[in-house]
Amino acid sequence: MGNDKFIELAGKKLSNEISSDENNEFQRCLANDASLREQYEALSAYWKHSDAQYADNALAFQKIKSKIKAQEVIEPTTAITPVKKGTIHYLWRAAAAVVLIAGCSYLFYSKTVTLGHGIASTTSGAWQNKNTSARDKSTIVLTDGTRITLNSQSSLRYPTKFTGKIREVYLSGEAFFDVHKDHEHPFIIHTEKMNIKVLGTAFNVKSYPDDPSSETTLIRGAIEVTLDDRPSDRIILKPSEKLIVKKGSFTTIRKNQAKLSPATDSSAGTQYVLTSFTRLHQADSAILETSWTQNKLIFRDENFADLAARMERWYGVEIKFKNDEMKKYRFTGTYEKETITQALDALRITENFHYKIKNSAIYIY
Amino acid sequence: MRDRKVDTLKLWKLICNNDDENAFELFFHILNNSLIKFCVLYVHQREIAEEIVSDVFVKCWLNRKNLIEIQNPETYLFVAVKNQSLNHIKKYSTIHLVQIEETNSVEFVNTYNPQKEIENKELIFRMDQAIAGLPQQCRIVFRLIKEDGMKYKEVAEILNISPRTVQTQLFRAIKKLSVILTQYNKHHESPLKPIQSTF
């Protein structure tokens, strides 16, 4: 029996589409040829070897039940209609074409938007600014139901009403986003370095102009990040991942779940690191990156320079170092209601330094 | 696998006629895995696939009164998931690369499974990779027939292609596996030990 005939009969046999005549022929061939028999046995073993089951069915069903509850109130009837016969080939071609067109236009678009010209084309209507000063936090609910909690010294630029095909906001500083899911209208956050495209989700963005790095931490859902100077790189974050973008470096390191695996990337661009978020206690759901939304200033093995920058925003003060060596001190702790002096005194317990308060400036020496 | 079909139709009737929530849950458990895996073949991301499949289930329940006439709910759900996947790709095409032609891209296959250790792990891995390297339609056809035990006719209906094409694509996949087997046997002089012998 030729190889093609063997493939045909084996295929029919495995898929249970074999006629009894063909089956007899197949059995005869196998009986006469040991190598075919061996091959069919291996094929059949592979065929029966089914791939792994997906585990979280119970949780998935809970989600469905809650979705149904939510929708039964709002829209009692929605129809899903399978696409009519005969259109599918076109759909495939269309899908391929759309990929190309959208890919090109995205590149073009992402360039223009970051230059600030793209606003009018996507969203008409007035824009609003929300600024928070030091010690100040603010929660904004946008017209689409998205909740944004703005940390101190941050500003958010958002439209009074979303009208275009995409929902866009501009952020400087730190904010926690709980984006209302709407597949029809992707949500995009522009920051100095990154553009974050949201696929329905909750996450934290930190992008202060004076900080050496920008961070995005994803709590749930999925988001896609593009960097201004590397528009072709799309970094997709999965839950519990954190992306740190360093300013003004030229190499790429991709770090995943604390395991380092340097990527080979010779092209110049911003350095970024993908890591997991910091759980405060293993059994605890509290997450360092979002602790500020619960009015806590939490730091874990953080250097004094970074901590001072956060304390400046937290307490609305200015902290100046007279001795650069002290910037390297590392601290771990949590502030909730402490005053600035209590906070500094607590730090002095572990490291040797002095401080002096003059008006709203604090000198560390 | 054939029982699944009988079950799903029975459950479907209970869902549509009696608003039976338990039947809906069972129905969900029977099909969810297969639908998610099927969806991943289009959208390439598990989270998105889960989202799409769960939305389809939600819509099925909300719309159950209009779906009483459906005779093959399994096929219906596969078609719905396929359509939603294609819609998704259309909408979010900036994110995805649709594989149109054959590539040698390597997909990560999690082979860690104690049972697999004692089976012919390496060979299975190679065969999995061979399948992963097939063009999308071919891969989908192979999966639906192998994992979901579907008939040519059902696959043809879901993918909106002719049963003949289904068969051609299946043969193509099997031919590739056969090539892998032949190569493998050349490198390993000792005869292959299959997991179970059939017939």
Cα-Cα-Cα-Cα dihedral sign, residues A96, A100, A105, A106: positive
pLDDT at B30: 87
B177 contact residues in A (CB cutoff 8 A): 43, 46
A196 contact residues in B (CB cutoff 8 A): none
Digit-coded pLDDT (tens) for A318-358: 898 988 888 888 888 888 878 888 888 888 888 888 888 88
Q: How far is A200 from chain B (nearest CA, A)?
A: 10
d(Cα A167, Cα A125) in Å, to the nearest integer? 13
Q: B167 and A86: CB-CB below 8 Å?
A: no
Instruction: Count how many Cα atoms sit within 13 Å of the Cα of residue B170 in the half-sphere of its side chain.
Output: 34
pLDDT at B123: 79
d(Cα B65, Cα B72) in Å, to the nearest integer? 16
Q: B62 and A236: CB-CB below 8 Å?
A: no
Residue with tokens 């250097």: A303
Confirm or reject contact between B190 and chain A (CB < 8 A).
no
B147 contact residues in A (CB cutoff 8 A): 50-51
Q: A82 and B32: CB-CB below 8 Å?
A: no
Amino acid, res. A305: A
Instruction: Report how far Cα B104 is from the mean position of its chain's Cα atoms.
Output: 21
- H helix runs in B92-190, sequence order: 114-118, 121-132, 136-148, 152-159, 163-187
Residue A47, classed as helix, strand or coil, is helix
Structure-token pair, residue A265: 């990337």
B86 contact residues in A (CB cutoff 8 A): 83, 91-92, 95
Higher pLDDT, B78 or A281: B78
Confirm or reject contact between B107 and chain A (CB < 8 A).
no
Q: A46 and B170: CB-CB below 8 Å?
A: no
> In terms of C-beta density within 10 A (0-12 exposed, 13-18 middle, 19 or more buried), how is residue B168 classed?
middle
Confirm or reject contact between B168 and chain A (CB < 8 A).
no
Contact A322, A355 (CB under 8 A): no
Cα-Cα-Cα-Cα dihedral sign, residues A201, A206, A208, A212: negative
Residue with tokens 């029982």: B3
A88 contact residues in B (CB cutoff 8 A): 159-161
A185 contact residues in B (CB cutoff 8 A): none
Residue A42 vs residues A197, A312, A350: alpha-carbon distances, Å = 46, 68, 66
pLDDT at A55: 58
d(Cα A247, Cα A272) in Å, to the nearest integer? 9
Residue B173 vs residues A70, A299, B102, B104, B126: alpha-carbon distances, Å = 44, 55, 12, 15, 13
Confirm or reject contact between B48 and chain A (CB < 8 A).
yes
Q: How far is A55 from chain B (nearest CA, A)?
A: 9
pLDDT at A258: 34
Q: A184 and B159: CB-CB below 8 Å?
A: no
Percent pLDDT > 90 in chain B is 19
> In terms of C-beta density within 10 A (0-12 exposed, 13-18 middle, 19 or more buried), how is residue A177 classed?
buried
Q: A78 and B63: CB-CB below 8 Å?
A: yes
d(Cα A197, Cα A186) in Å, to the nearest integer? 7
Residue A323 vs residues A317, A320, A327, A349: alpha-carbon distances, Å = 18, 9, 8, 18
Residue A25, classed as helix, strand or coil, is helix
B62 → closest Cβ in A47, A76, A99: A76
Structure-token pair, residue B186: 């050349």
pLDDT category at B188 given cuts 50, 70, 90 is low
Residue with tokens 């209302």: A180
Structure-token pair, residue A343: 């906070």
Residue in A with minimal Cα distance to B31 = A57
Structure-token pair, residue A193: 């370095």
A8 contact residues in B (CB cutoff 8 A): 171
Contact A3, B159 (CB under 8 A): no
> In terms of C-beta density within 10 A (0-12 exposed, 13-18 middle, 19 or more buried), how is residue A342 classed?
exposed
Contact B78, B158 (CB under 8 A): yes
Instruction: Report how far Cα A239 is from the mean position of its chain's Cα atoms.
Output: 7
pLDDT category at B107 given cuts 50, 70, 90 is very low
d(Cα A275, Cα B160) in Å, to the nearest integer? 43
Q: How far is A38 from chain B (nearest CA, A)?
A: 7
pLDDT category at B111 given cuts 50, 70, 90 is very low
Residue in B with minimal Cα distance to A184 = B91
B197 contact residues in A (CB cutoff 8 A): 41, 44-45
Structure-token pair, residue A135: 């010690």
- pTM score > 0.90 for this model? no
Digit-coded pLDDT (tens) for B115-143: 444 456 777 888 888 888 888 889 999 98
Confirm or reject contact between B162 and chain A (CB < 8 A).
no
Backbone angles phi, psi at B117, to 5 degrees: -55, -45
Residue B5 vs residues A70, B8, B50: alpha-carbon distances, Å = 30, 5, 22
d(Cα B10, Cα B7) in Å, to the nearest integer? 5
Contact A194, A216 (CB under 8 A): yes
A77 → closest Cβ in B62, B80, B171: B62
pLDDT at A87: 41
Confirm or reject contact between B165 and chain A (CB < 8 A).
no
d(Cα A183, Cα A221) in Å, to the nearest integer? 13
pLDDT at A213: 76
Local mean pLDDT, 10-residue blocks, chain A (365 residues): 83 88 89 85 81 69 82 52 42 43 39 36 64 82 84 86 83 84 80 75 78 75 72 69 62 34 38 56 56 78 87 85 86 83 87 84 88
pLDDT at B172: 92
Helix axes B121-132, A34-48, angle to 10 degrees: 80
Q: How many beta-carbon pairs under 8 angstroms link A with B?
A: 182
Q: B160 and A64: CB-CB below 8 Å?
A: no
Out of A94-108, A172-186, B29-43, B160-174, the most confident range is B160-174
A4 contact residues in B (CB cutoff 8 A): 175
pLDDT at A273: 61
Nearest to B125 by CA among A299, A49, A81, A138: A49
Q: Which residues of B49-75 are buried (b: 16+ CB within 10 A; e: fewer)?
A: bbbbbbbbbbbbbbbbeebeebebbbb
Structure-token pair, residue B178: 């056969």
Instruction: Report how far Cα A85 is from the mean position of its chain's Cα atoms.
Output: 38
Residue B105 in this model has a pLDDT that exceeds 50? no
pLDDT at B53: 92
Q: B98 and A99: CB-CB below 8 Å?
A: yes
Contact B31, B11 (CB under 8 A): no
Q: How far is A57 from chain B (nearest CA, A)?
A: 7
d(Cα A121, Cα A103) in Å, to the nearest integer? 18
d(Cα B167, Cα B152) in Å, to the nearest integer? 7
Confirm or reject contact between B29 and chain A (CB < 8 A).
yes
Residue B73 in this model has a pLDDT that exceeds 50? yes
ipTM of the complex: 0.71
Confirm or reject contact between B149 and chain A (CB < 8 A).
yes
- Rounded to a whole number of angstroms, the CA Rg of chain A reads 28
d(Cα A83, Cα B61) in Å, to the nearest integer? 19
H/E element, A20: helix A20-32
B127 contact residues in A (CB cutoff 8 A): 46
Is the backbone of residue B156 left (phi > 0), alpha (psi -120 to 50) or beta? alpha
Residue in A with minimal Cα distance to B148 = A50
A57 → closest Cβ in B29, B94, B96: B29
pLDDT at A88: 41
